[in-house]
Amino acid sequence: MAKKLTRRSFLRGSGGLVVGIPFLESLRSEKAFAQQAFPNRFITTYYGSTTGSARYSSPDNYGPLNQPLKLALAPLQDYVSKLSFISNLDFPVTNVAPTEPGPPGSARNKQHAGVESPLFSGMAAMERVAPVIRGTTVDQIAADFLGSGSQYKSLQLRVQAASYNGRTGARAQGTSTSVRAENGRLNELPMVESPKRLYDMLFAAGGTTTNPTTQTLAKNKSALDFVLEDANRLIASVSANDRQLLENHFEKIREFERSLSSGGSGGGGMQPSTLPLNNPGPDPQVNSYSFGGWADETKRGEAMADMIAYALSTDITRVVAWAFTHFQCWLNSQMTGGSATPSGSNGVPEIHNDSHNSSAEQIAKNCAWATGLLARLLGNLESVQEGTGTLLDHTFISFVTAESKNAHGKTNYTYAVAGMGDRINLGQHINGNKAHPALVHLDGLRAIGLNTNRLGEVSGSLPGLLKV
Amino acid sequence: MKEWNFASLKKMLFSVVLILCLASFLILNSACSESGSFKLKDTMDLPSGGTSENFVPPSPDALYDKTAFGDTGTQRLTRNQMIDSLNLALGISPEEFRDDLPFNSPSSTYFDNDYESLSLSLNDIRSFAGFSEKLVAKLLENKSEVDELMGCTPAAANDSACLEMLLRKVGARILRRDLTDSEIQSYMDRFIPMAVSESDFYIAVELSLLALIQHPEFLYRIESEKGSQITGFQVASRLSFLVQGTGPDDQLLEAARKGELLDSEIRVSHVQRLLESDQAKKHWNRFHAQWLGFSDRVLKAGLETDMLTETQFTLSHINFESNSPWMEIFTLEKTYLSQELAQHYGIQHPGGQSTWIDYPQGRRAGVLSHGTLASLGAKFNDTSPTLRGYEVFKRLFCGEFSIDIPAGVDIDDAPGKAGDCKEDRYYMRNVSTCVECHGITDNIGFGLENLGPFGGWRQAEPNLPSCKISGEGEVESTGFQGPEQLGNLIASNPVVVSCATKQFFHFTMGRHSKPEDGETLEALVGQYYKTNTLVSLIESMARTEAIVFREN
């Protein structure tokens, strides 16, 4: 039987090079949490369908939120003092051929997946070219600004376990709302759909391994140290384009090593969170990839809401892109009380079909499923004390949807923002005056302290959202 | 009749189709209840009024120029390539850890190996790490197998000679080249002391393998400077990935060591040897599964394996066992069926094991009749003639339209009035503003309507017995009835051959074709028509001087 490896032997074996010390609980920084300035955090949340009719969604009047929230937004009722709604937001739209972008910041006025590019990157949509989003997304801009001290610069997560459009494997993974322009190309950052995998990432540092021992992590670090030492030889031997690719690869290995060195719990020296966090266990199984599939997404979403709050509170990350669903989501809608045999289209109870064919009430119920998960996250963030405030006070959160009040709708959106009360006017229903919906995100960047005038092709500010 | 070739076809079609599509774009309205978003991408691929009888195959000569491959960027191994390469190198299958590997990047081709869409994230690095840890841990569960792999049994924790044997043999398989003496020394200098410290030789094995599997020279297919001849080991890699989607085996590595792979005849002999392997069949079945679109389809519950087996047997039979013309995958008059699948199709089975069975005359032929391909038209709990026709049009004819979907149209709404027969519900091909696209897609799709969502044969629409299915369709102004006749039309059509060879190019080069690849694409068509087989096309890629040269 192989003996266990000691940390000492690895340090000896590193040949005198500077090697990050494998994480050991006893060695973690004991900096007093209260003595630190609390970092700002940034979260985007996304529901790939519609809030539904104004009758069941947006507040009736602009100004202070002093009426009960309607069905689609009702789960957020407990947090009205910590959030604001912005309505009357319109995308510029275009019908141009799919391989050409339209006017700056424009959405495609037809099918689904027509708004993600302008919404998250400010770049006009241009479908059928991967990735769908055509510029660096707002979460990645925030990650570059906020994320350097954390273990993960950002996390990308999605609740919906599969696209449920009849496909399996990689094609079922759908479009990420997180994209980076790197090395002259756009890289779509895949979204983690497995709560178990997220848990492993937060606690195991090795990501895909199931509770690897400190020895396992140390071994892999030693192996990667060895690979890194070969970088110069390899990079010098290849052509310029390949050099760029390899340099990027080696840089990612270094980033990974830094995350190993910082351990699996906290990247900025902050204390363990006061939040209790249970291991979510094995993921609920995806039993069907066809329309109307369901893999207990409510349980998945709740686990993610808890883990996101934990990750933010311990500074494992400061930035999260969280999608509740795919765009044009075919997620089963019976869990929200929908008919088992709805009329129209494919006759399957699923959110996309509902958005076209079901009652306004059912469409709002579907949205309430998403806002319910958002409410759980807000509650978690609010429960963590940070100085004289809470974690929610140091976090900007957006809630955006793919479609506005109806299927394919690209005008008259109602979006929400929460947190960062020292920078954002909260407890309000704000008239967006047909401004570009991406301004929610641009103002969010300003709220976390980034001095910027532009998100992709979109510039400006939402009237009344930011405190002057 | 006027003779047509690629140049004249391109010129004529560009004028006619562009005018028609632009006109349609201007006048399209929401009358089309189901449509697609298409663009005119390459008129060379579009069908026209030409016939196969007067088609003149182009010359294959350009394929043999050393610059024929054009851009040859650095490819990262796909999930399949990593798993199969490590299986070959280590003798154990990493299949159980497949989900630990990063997903392949989104692709601009039908295939999973498009290096131009490659992305890399921190999570990818984590995934490689987790995958490597699990795989190496599994290998080390059985030390005697490790000893066999190395070719020695370690005498002590510091048995550097034994580690050297591992690095020379397995290291070469993983990195696809020999390790230099100084590299081997650096592995030993680094990892033997750790093994000694813990009195366990296998720690050195574990760490060496972790480093090798996560080394960029395994993860990427790195080649020499552009504009130069590549090394023998790199030629070995190109050949092996071409034929079987893995790193080279020991025989290819040995041929590279001896400098033999500059000889085209020796290269072809290795290709012929590798083509005999099950791995080659698996690799080319994957090509077809991704090109034809069924690789990630959800198939009929309980019959998934039988359906995939049917198509795989057909592809292997045509391409590798009978060495028949490649296009006969659309015309083969028999198929390989289990009893259950035969029952689903409505075909008589003699009983017992899966076996080859002749199709009933006048109905089915080739893969178009299989449940795998039929599933591409599944929609609305039935089939969509538009979707099915579009899949055939884009995958087999490489067709695309330039017309945008009209505002207000939703392709996810079933067209027409529920309860009407499909001939009435799918009215778009009879509407002047929709016919440019639907006249192509729906006319193909209606010809396949006898096939249900998973290939079961039907005479009437589901739950609508009065709605009889005629099975009459049309492609390139030629009428046909059912998948058998469509298969025959497709197999004899040079546009389909042009499309198939273009997909072959995308798959073998790991990228989408570009305008500057035009001569090579035409030459591939010419090469195909010399023998009509897929195998000869693969061999031609090994024979050309381009395989030893990195142009750009």
Question: Per-residue pLDDT for B48 more than 50?
Answer: no
Q: Which of B412, B425, B437, B549 to mutate to test the interface with A (most CBs of A within 10 A)?
A: B412
Pairing of strands B378-379, B382-383: antiparallel
Question: What are the residue boundaries of the structural domains of chain A, listed by start?
Answer: 41-205+278-459, 209-262
Q: Are A95 and B73 in contact (CB < 8 Å)?
A: no
Question: Per-residue pLDDT for B218 more than 70?
Answer: yes
Q: Does B233 touch chain A (CB under 8 A)?
A: no
- Pair of tokens at residue A7: 């940390």
Q: How confident is the model at residue B494 (pLDDT cuts 50, 70, 90)?
A: very high
Say if B178 falls within a structural domain. yes
Q: What is the dihedral of CA B450, B455, B458, B460, to 10 degrees?
A: -60
Look-up: residue for tokens 């010419």?
Answer: B526
Inter-residue contact B275 to B540 (CB < 8 Å): no
Inter-residue contact A367 to A395 (CB < 8 Å): no
Q: Are B39 and A169 in contact (CB < 8 Å)?
A: no
What one-character DSSP code corresponds to residue B180? P
Q: What is the mean pLDDT of chain B?
A: 88
Alpha-carbon gap, residue B236 to A95, rounded angstroms: 49
Q: Hey, which residues 163-222 in chain A have their CB within 8 Å of chain B?
A: 166-173, 182, 185-190, 192, 201, 206-209, 212, 216, 219-220, 222
Alpha-carbon gap, residue B81 to B507, rounded angstroms: 13
Residue B433 confidence (pLDDT): 83
Which amino acid appears at position A390 of this protein? T
**Residues pairing with A458 in the sheet:** A455
Minimal CA–CA distance to A416: which of A443, A394, A393, A381?
A443
Look-up: residue for tokens 């690849």?
Answer: B517
Q: Does B107 touch chain A (CB under 8 A)?
A: yes
Q: Which chain A residue's Cα is nearest to B76? A: A245
- Pair of tokens at residue A43: 């979260």
Pairing of strands B464-468, B460-461: antiparallel
Q: Does A1 touch chain B (CB under 8 A)?
A: no
Q: Which chain A residue's Cα is nearest to B409? A: A110
Q: Which of A148-157, B384-393, B481-490, B500-509 has the lowest mean pLDDT?
A: A148-157
Residue A139 confidence (pLDDT): 97
A302 Cα distance to chain centroid: 14
Inter-residue contact B447 to B475 (CB < 8 Å): yes
Residue spans of beta strands (DSSP E) within A113-159? 155-158
How many domains does chain B divide into?
Answer: 1
Say if B157 falls within a structural domain. yes
Question: Per-residue pLDDT for B21 more than 50?
Answer: no
Q: Are B187 and A187 in contact (CB < 8 Å)?
A: no
HSE, CB side, 13 Å, CA atoms: give it for residue B463: 5
Q: Which chain A residue's Cα is nearest to B202? A: A2
Say if B458 falls within a structural domain. no
Alpha-carbon gap, residue B307 to A224, rounded angstroms: 43
> In this structure, which topology does domain A41-205+278-459 adopt according to CATH?
Alkaline Phosphatase, subunit A (3.40.720)
Question: Per-residue pLDDT for B195 more than 50?
Answer: yes
Chain A hits for B298, CB-CB cut-off 8 Å, are 166-168, 288-290
Question: Per-residue pLDDT for B76 more than 90?
Answer: yes
Q: Does B3 touch chain A (CB under 8 A)?
A: no
Inter-residue contact A450 to A145 (CB < 8 Å): yes
Residue A219 confidence (pLDDT): 83
Determine the structural domain holding residue B168 and report its residue range. 75-221
Question: Per-residue pLDDT for B37 more than 60?
Answer: no
Nearest to A168 among B140, B296, B414 (CB): B296
Say if B192 falls within a structural domain. yes
Q: Which chain B residue's Cα is nearest to A224? A: B211
Residue B457 confidence (pLDDT): 96
Q: What is the dihedral of CA B330, B333, B335, B339, to 10 degrees?
A: 140
Q: Which of A3, A108, A220, A350 to mutate to test the interface with B (most CBs of B within 10 A)?
A: A220
Chain A hits for B198, CB-CB cut-off 8 Å, are 2-6, 9
Which amino acid appears at position B539 of this protein? E
Look-up: residue for tokens 């080659």?
Answer: B280
Please state the φ and ψ torsions of residue A186, each to the nearest 5 degrees: -95, 125
Question: Per-residue pLDDT for B119 more than 80?
Answer: no
- Pair of tokens at residue B212: 């090798």
Look-up: residue for tokens 């059985």?
Answer: B142
Inter-residue contact A124 to A118 (CB < 8 Å): yes
Say if B478 falls within a structural domain. no
* Best-predicted range by mean pLDDT (A266-280, B21-35, B296-310): B296-310
Please state the φ and ψ torsions of residue A158, each to the nearest 5 degrees: -140, 140
Chain B hits for A241, CB-CB cut-off 8 Å, are 73-74, 226
What one-character DSSP code corresponds to residue B390? H
Inter-residue contact B120 to A187 (CB < 8 Å): yes
CA B192-B198-B201 angle, 5° bins:
45
pLDDT tens per residue across span B330-363? 999 999 999 999 999 999 999 999 999 999 988 9
Which amino acid appears at position A191 of this protein? M
How close B381 comes to chain A (CA, Å)?
Answer: 6
Alpha-carbon gap, residue B271 to B267, rounded angstroms: 6
Per-residue pLDDT of chain A (468 residues; tens, 9 = 90+): 333 333 333 333 333 222 222 222 222 222 333 334 688 999 999 999 999 999 999 999 999 999 999 999 999 999 999 999 999 999 998 876 666 777 889 988 766 668 999 999 999 987 655 567 889 999 999 998 887 767 788 999 999 999 888 777 666 767 789 998 876 677 888 899 999 989 988 875 433 333 445 666 678 888 999 999 999 889 988 888 788 889 999 998 998 887 676 544 444 445 566 777 788 889 998 888 888 889 999 999 999 999 999 999 988 899 999 999 998 888 998 877 777 777 666 677 889 888 888 899 999 999 999 999 999 999 999 999 888 899 999 999 999 999 998 888 889 999 999 999 999 999 999 999 999 999 999 999 999 999 899 999 999 999 999 998
Q: Are B200 and A109 in contact (CB < 8 Å)?
A: no
- Pair of tokens at residue A228: 């890194």
How close B250 comes to chain A (CA, Å)?
Answer: 24
What one-character DSSP code corresponds to residue B4? B
How close B432 comes to chain A (CA, Å)?
Answer: 20
Inter-residue contact B239 to B248 (CB < 8 Å): yes
Q: Which of A82-91, B46-55, B496-505 has the lowest mean pLDDT?
A: B46-55
Inter-residue contact A463 to A430 (CB < 8 Å): yes
pLDDT tens per residue across span B309-329? 999 999 999 999 998 999 999
How close A286 comes to chain B (CA, Å)?
Answer: 13
Say if B92 falls within a structural domain. yes
- Pair of tokens at residue B461: 């629409």
User: What average pLDDT does range B253-275 have in this prediction?
Assistant: 97
User: What average pLDDT does range B403-423 have in this prediction?
Assistant: 76
Residue B181 confidence (pLDDT): 97
Q: Between the CA of residue B441 and those of A158, A381, B154, B290, B476, what are the distances in Å?
A: 35, 52, 66, 21, 11
Alpha-carbon gap, residue A448 to A444, rounded angstroms: 7
Q: Are B120 and A187 in contact (CB < 8 Å)?
A: yes
Inter-residue contact B261 to B242 (CB < 8 Å): no
Residue B204 confidence (pLDDT): 97
Say if B98 falls within a structural domain. yes
Residue B407 confidence (pLDDT): 60
Which amino acid appears at position A369 of this protein? W
